[in-house]
C-alpha cells in the first residue's frame, strides 16, 4: 500500500492527508498564536519535516483529558475551562527530522484534540497542532507510526 503523509499549512490552518500525490482528507487545525519557531519554551509551532513517533489515546473517549500523555479525567463541555488549553481525545507526537526542528520531541509538539474547538481555523494554540476531537480521532486511526508530516507556510 502506498504510504500516507500529512501536510500542515499555516496559511490555511489545515492538515491534509495524502497518499502519494492524491489528497484523501483535509481538516481544519489551529497552530500557535505565538507564531512560528523552534526555540525552547517559546510556544511556537515549528516548521519543516517531522515524523509521527508516538501515538496515545487508543480506545479513550473524545473527552479524555491527557496529562503527561496519560488519560487523567473526562472533560465536560458545560464545565468552564477559561483559557486552559486541554489536550483531549488523541495525541500524535512529532519528532523533528531536521537540525532546526530536532528539539520538537523535547518540546512536546503534538497533533491533538482540544477543548477550544471554536478557535480551530485560527492561530490559537501553544505550539501544537490542535484539531477537533472527532477529526483527530479519525486521523489517529488513519495514520500509522512513522507517518511523515510536513509543516509549512503555504
Whichever domain contains 78, its CATH number is 2.40.440.10
pLDDT tens for 6-44 read: 999 999 999 999 998 899 999 999 999 999 999 999 999
The residue segments making up the domain with residue 61 are: 4-152
Q: Is the pLDDT of residue 135 over 90?
A: yes
CA distances 83 to 124, 128, 132, Å, are: 10, 15, 16
Q: Is the pLDDT of residue 1 over 60?
A: no
Cell triple for 74? 473526562
Q: Is the pLDDT of residue 114 over 60?
A: yes
CA 85 – CA 102 distance, rounded (Å): 24
Domain count, the chain: 1
Nearest to 74 by CA among 93, 91, 61: 61
CA 62 – CA 5 distance, rounded (Å): 24
CB 93 within 8 A of CB 52: yes
CA 86 – CA 40 distance, rounded (Å): 20
pTM assigned to the model = 0.93
Amino acid at each position: 500500500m502506498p504510504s500516507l503523509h500529512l501536510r500542515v499549512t499555516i496559511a490555511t490552518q489545515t492538515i491534509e492527508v495524502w497518499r502519494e500525490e492524491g489528497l484523501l482528507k483535509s481538516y481544519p487545525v489551529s497552530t500557535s498564536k505565538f507564531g512560528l519557531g523552534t526555540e525552547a519554551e517559546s510556544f511556537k509551532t515549528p516548521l519543516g519535516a517531522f515524523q509521527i513517533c508516538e501515538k496515545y489515546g487508543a480506545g479513550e473517549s473524545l473527552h479524555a483529558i491527557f496529562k503527561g500523555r496519560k488519560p487523567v479525567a473526562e472533560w465536560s463541555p458545560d464545565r468552564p475551562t477559561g483559557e486552559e488549553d486541554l489536550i483531549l481525545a488523541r495525541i500524535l507526537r512529532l519528532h523533528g527530522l531536521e537540525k532546526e526542528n530536532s528539539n520538537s520531541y523535547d518540546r512536546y509538539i503534538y497533533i491533538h484534540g482540544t477543548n477550544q474547538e471554536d478557535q480551530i481555523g485560527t492561530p490559537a494554540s501553544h505550539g501544537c497542532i490542535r484539531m477537533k476531537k472527532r477529526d483527530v480521532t479519525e486521523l489517529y486511526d488513519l495514520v500509522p507510526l512513522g507517518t511523515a508530516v510536513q509543516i509549512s507556510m503555504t
